[in-house]
Amino acid sequence: MFNFNEEAVRKEHENGVSIIAETQRVVDKICGEGYKNIFYIGIGGTLLYAGQMMHIVKEAGSTIPLFLENAADFCLVGNPHFGKDSVVVIASISGDTKEVVEAVHKAHAAGARVVGYVEKEGTPLYEHSDDLITTVGGEYYSWYTVTLRLMANAGQFPQYDKFMTEIVHMPENVVEIYKKSDAKAKEYADKYCDAELTYLIGSGNLEDWAVCYGMCIMEEMQWMRTRPISAANFFHGTLEVVERDIPVILIKGEDKTRPQMERAEKFVNTISANVTVFDTKDYELKGISDEFRGMLSPIVMRSAFQRVSVHLEHNRRHPLAIRRYYRRLDY
């Protein structure tokens, strides 16, 4: 398979599994000492990953006092619920994202505690987090563990032990997802790598993945114009600009919002001749109970779309690491 390092993929997700115990310890310490509320803070992809967790909390019916904040907005506007008894959970792969670092300083100025996920030692987030979770490639597992442990400690996720026993099977499942998704990913990239505009539609805990892939990969890393939209909002504007020749990507998961995606799918197939469906139901998850498949949809889709990225990069002769403006110009 083109540009596929099976051992590296497996290792990335094994790294994620390896931080579960330490992440649990951090959350248990926070719960034991008490807190008023939890703030998930991020920007760009990390904010969107955290947003997927917000959908999971809501669908589970949990009432833990959880807020989601864009780091840039938080630094300028703040939040009236935020104070010294708040706990910030924040992530930055690089550890030096400007807005994230500023948010950490603002949190500390208020007397709040900061739990940081970072992949680079010696960076500002690494140095200034009160509790540190660090590995390479394990961000999703950090968000899942923090979120579900908070719910479990509040008595709102009794399936926690079962879930964590099963999630250890995801590294092998992810390897197989990469393999199975490759043909469709290549077909998509071959047909649409030069598209002038692409619509991406998602719902529930994959709504933010549609935004993340469109904004952080196709736009930032491939300079392709996209329009991500939630299935819930699609019928209140965007449906009017769907055209026969504009590619549409449908990102279907298995949570309670799946009927929204089926409605959108039915409509776009009557208008567009260029519809591609990525559906988590197409992928076997060995060792994972059906009750958790919807919850794990973000990991499944991120894995499938990694192959789309590889083929877009190849077809467009545009390395994913190249930027025109990001960290190149002052802004």
Split at pLDDT 50, 70, 90, the class of 331 is confident
- Judge contact between 200 and 230, C-beta under 8 A: no
Q: Which two tokens stand for residue 320?
A: 């994913």
Q: Which CATH architecture has domain 6-167?
A: 3-Layer(aba) Sandwich (3.40)
pTM, to two decimals: 0.96
pLDDT at 93: 92
The interaxial angle of helices 170-192 and 6-18, nearest 10 deg, is: 130
Q: Which two tokens stand for residue 316?
A: 């467009």
Express each pLDDT in 101-141 by its tens digit: 999 999 999 999 999 999 999 999 999 999 999 999 999 99
pLDDT at 255: 98
The hierarchical CATH code for the domain 170-316 is: 3.40.50.10490
**Residue 162 in this model has a pLDDT that exceeds 90:** yes
Task: Kindly write down the DSSP assignment for every residue of 227-282, as one continuous string.
Answer: EEEEHHHHTTTGGGG--TTS-EEEEE-SSTTHHHHHHHHHHHHHH-S-EEEEEGGG
Q: How far apart are CA 239 and CA 83, in angstroms?
A: 42
Express each pLDDT in 13-55 by its tens digit: 999 999 999 999 999 999 999 999 999 999 999 999 999 999 9
Q: Nearest-CA neighbor of 299 among 132, 172, 188, 187?
A: 172
Segments making up each domain of the chain, as ranges: 6-167, 170-316
Judge if 6-167 and 170-316 fold alike in CATH terms. Answer: yes
Phi-psi region of 129 (alpha: psi -120 to 50; beta: other; left: phi over 0): beta
Q: How far apart are CA 232 and CA 218, in angstroms?
A: 22
Q: For the chain, what percent of residues have pLDDT higher than 90?
A: 98
